[in-house]
Amino acid sequence: MRGFFSHRPLMACSAVAAAAALVACGGGDDTAATPTALPQLSAAQAGTLSAACASLTGFTYAGVTIASAATVAAGTLTLAGTPVPEHCLVTGKLGSRTGSDGLTYAIGFEMRLPQAWSGRFFYQGNGGLDGSVVTATGATGGGPNTHALLQGFAVISSDAGHTGAQTAAFGFEPQARLDYGYQAAAKLTPMAKALVKAAYGRTPDRSYFGGCSNGGRHTLVATSRLAEEYDGFLAGAPGYNLPKAAVSQIWGAQQYARAYTVGATTVANGSTIADLSTAFTPAERTMIAGRILAKCDALDSAADGIVSDTAACQKAFSLADDVPTCSGARDGTCLTALQKDVLTNIHAGARTSTGSAVYNTFPFDAGISGTGWATWEFVNSLALDPLAAGVVFNATPAFLANPLTASIDALAAGITATSATYAVSGMDFMTPPNPSNLSVLKNRGAKVMVYHGVSDAVFSYDDSVTWIKNLASANDGDASNFARLYGVPGMNHCSGGPATDQFDMLTPLVQWVEQGKAPDAVIATARGTGNAGGVNAEVPAGWAATRTRPLCAYPKVAKYKGSGSLELAANFSCQ
C-alpha cells in the first residue's frame, strides 16, 4: 500500500498547499499560525445515460463477469414512499476464485446507474458481516429517508467477497477476510468508475463513500486506504475499531450474566441463548433513562427529553447516587447493588484480566431505554459478536463453545495476533491504518462527516469522540476544516431510540465538498406518527411527531435560544 505521511509540516507545504502557505513554508516560522487554505473541488456536472443499458452486458474489465444489465422502470423501486426514477441495473462478479477451503469465492456486486445522472458516484458500505449484495440504493443511515440513488448518484453495492450474510465460515479463508476488511472496496472502486465511464461517457466528477455500522467502518477505512479515490466520506456509527468492539460485547455479555435470571433462555438466529435481557428489564432501563434525564436533560438549557450536552452529563450523573438501590425485590423502581456494579462496568468499558482497556468507554444517555440498545447488549453479544471475534478476526479462528465462559484475554490477543495461515491481524485488515492521519484526503480538498448515536450500545460514541479528538490533535488542534462529528442524542445503533434520527447528511456533505459550504449543523427530524420513511415507535409520546433539532458538530451542542416551541430546530443553536 501507499506510504503514510506522519510529518505534518511537510504535508502543509506540499505542492497543493504551497501557494497558500508560501510565507510560512519558506520562512520556516512556526509562529505563523494562519490556517492553510485547502483546495476547493469543483462541482459535479449532470449527465445522462449514453449507453443502451442492455449493451453494458458487454462491459469488459479484468476479472469481471457481467451477469445482467437491464433497465429498471421508474417507480419499480420505492424508497421511503418516493418512487425511484428510471435507472440501469448491472449485476456481476469480480475476481472469481477457488479459496483455500475449496469453495468458490467472488466479489458479487450490483450497480444502479440513473438515467438522469448527477455526475456523482457513491460506494455503499454495507453492515454486519456483509455476505449479500444489498440493493444499491445508496442508503446512508440517518433514518430511512435518504438514499444516494434518489439524489442521482450512480451507486455500487457488494457482498464484500463472500456469500452468506451473518455466517462466519468465510472467516476461515484468509483472502475472504482481507476482501471483507478492505480489499473488496479497493478492487471494486476502479471497476465501478470504469463502468460509469462506459455508461455515461465519462468517469464520475465526484465520488463519495458512505454507510453505517460496518458500512461506517468501511467508510473510515476508505478515508485512509482510498483517500485518493473519494472526495466525500459519510460514516455512520463507524466501528473503526470493530474487532475490539466485538470482544467488548462478549465481555459485556459476561457482565450481564452476573445479574441475569439463571436458566432463562431465548432464541436468536435459530440458536437458543441465555436471555440476558433479564439482567435489566425494560421497566428498569426506562427508570434509568428517567434518572439520567432528571439529572442531565436541563444541562443544555431545555428540559425537552434530549440530553444534548453529553459531556456535561457524564460529570453530573452518578449511577450510584442518582438511581435508588433496591432494599427489597426488584420491581422496576430501583437497581440492586450487583446491577449497579454491572452497569458501571459496562459504561467504564471492557477490561482484560490485568485491567487493560479492550475498547472504549460508553456514555450515559437517555437512549438506554431503546430496543436497539437491548438487542445489541443482550442478543447480538451472544449471537453475532462471538462469530466475528472468535472466527473472522482471530488468528486462531474457532467457533466459541460458550461466549459466556470464553477467555476475554485470549480474544483480545487473538484480534491483534497473526499466524502462518493468517498473516494479517484482524485489527490490521478491519481498521484504518492510521485514523488520525488523513493528510492525503485533507490536502486534496476531500471532506469527512461522521454521525453517531450517543446511545449506540455496540460501537461507542466515545470512540468516535476519541477519533475526532485525535484527528484534531494531529491538525493543530482543529480538524473541522475537513472532518466533523455529529452526535445524535438518544439514538441507538444507526437509528431508533428516543431521538431525532432522520436526517440527510449526504446533501450537506456534497455542498461542503463541491461548494465549500461547511456544515455547522444538520437538521434532524423525529420519525413520529405518519412519517413516510417509517415510524420510530420509540419517539416519546410527549414529542411532536415531526420534532426537529440541529445536530451539532462536536464539541458544540444544541442549546435552546430561550423562547419559541421546543419542537422546532429553529429555536436551538449550536454552541
Active site members: 213, 456, 493
Q: Does 302 bind Ca ion (CB under 5 A)?
A: yes
Report the run of H or E that residue 464 belongs to, with start and end: helix 461-473
Nearer to Ca ion, 254 or 455 (CB): 455
- The reply to whether 454 sits near Ca ion by the rule CB under 5 A is no
- Binding status of residue 558 toward Ca ion by CB under 5 A: no
Nearest approach in angstroms of CB 334 to Ca ion is 25
Q: Give the span between the Cα atoms of 3 and 318, in whole angstroms.
A: 46
Binding span for Ca ion by CB under 5 A among 37-45, 282-290, 306-314, 343-351? 306-314
Instruction: Count CA atoms within 13 Å of residue 455 on its CB side.
Output: 29
Q: At what angle do helices 214-225 and 184-200 cross, to 10 degrees?
A: 80
Whether residue 489 contacts residue 366, with contact meaning beta carbons closer than 8 Å, is answered with yes
Measured from the CB atom, the residue of 173 and 297 that comes closer to Ca ion is 297
Start-to-end Cα distance in the chain = 41
Going from the C-alpha of 566 to that of each of 143, 301, 543, the distances in angstroms are 21, 11, 9
Nearer to Ca ion, 138 or 498 (CB): 498
d(CA 129, CA 392): 9
Which residue, chain included where needed, has cell 483472502? 175
Query: Is 499 among the residues that bind Ca ion (CB under 5 A)?
Result: no
Toward Ca ion, which CB reaches closer, 17 or 296? 296
> Binding of Ca ion at residue 365 (CB under 5 A)?
no
Q: Are 366 and 305 in contact (CB under 8 A)?
A: yes
Using CB under 5 A as the binding rule, whether residue 569 contacts Ca ion is answered as no
Shortest CB 566 distance to Ca ion, Å: 9
Does residue 462 bind Ca ion (CB under 5 A)?
no
Distances (CA, A) of 422 to 61, 100, 171, 407, 445: 29, 12, 10, 20, 36
User: Does 304 participate in binding Ca ion (rule CB under 5 A)?
Assistant: yes
Nearer to Ca ion, 159 or 300 (CB): 300
For residue 89, give the 3-state DSSP assignment: strand
242-256 vs 337-348: helix crossing angle, rounded to 10: 170
Q: Are strands 120-124 and 47-48 parallel, antiparallel or unpaired?
A: unpaired
What distance in Å separates the CA atoms of residue 141 and residue 149, rounded to the nearest whole number? 13
Beta strands in 139-246 (DSSP E): 154-158, 206-212, 232-236
Name the one range near Ca ion by CB under 5 A: 111-119, 190-198, 305-313, 455-463: 305-313
**Residue count at the site for Ca ion (CB under 5 A)?**
5
Which is nearer to Ca ion, 304 or 514 (by Cβ)? 304
CB nearer Ca ion, residue 79 or residue 289: 289
For residue 33, count CB atoms less than 10 angstroms from its CB and return exposed for 0-12, middle for 13-18, buried for 19 or more: exposed
7 — alpha (psi -120 to 50), left (phi > 0) or beta? beta
Binding segment for Ca ion among 8-16, 37-45, 294-302, 436-444 (CB under 5 A)? 294-302
306 contacts Ca ion (rule: CB under 5 A): yes
Tell me whether residue 32 is exposed, middle or buried, using C-beta atoms within 10 angstroms of its C-beta: 0 to 12, 13 to 18, 19 or more: exposed
Which of 143, 57, 94 has the alpha carbon at shortest distance from 533? 143
* Of residues 164 and 564, the one with the C-beta less far from Ca ion: 564
Pick 154 or 302: Cβ nearer Ca ion? 302
At 409, is the secondary structure helix, strand, or coil? helix
For residue 300, state whether it binds Ca ion (rule: CB under 5 A): yes
Q: Is 297 in the site for Ca ion (CB under 5 A)?
A: yes
Residue with cell 448518484: 153
For residue 181, the minimal CB distance to Ca ion (Å) is: 39
CB of 574 to Ca ion, least distance (A): 14
Query: Which parts of this chain interact with Ca ion (CB under 5 A)?
Result: 297, 300, 302, 304, 306
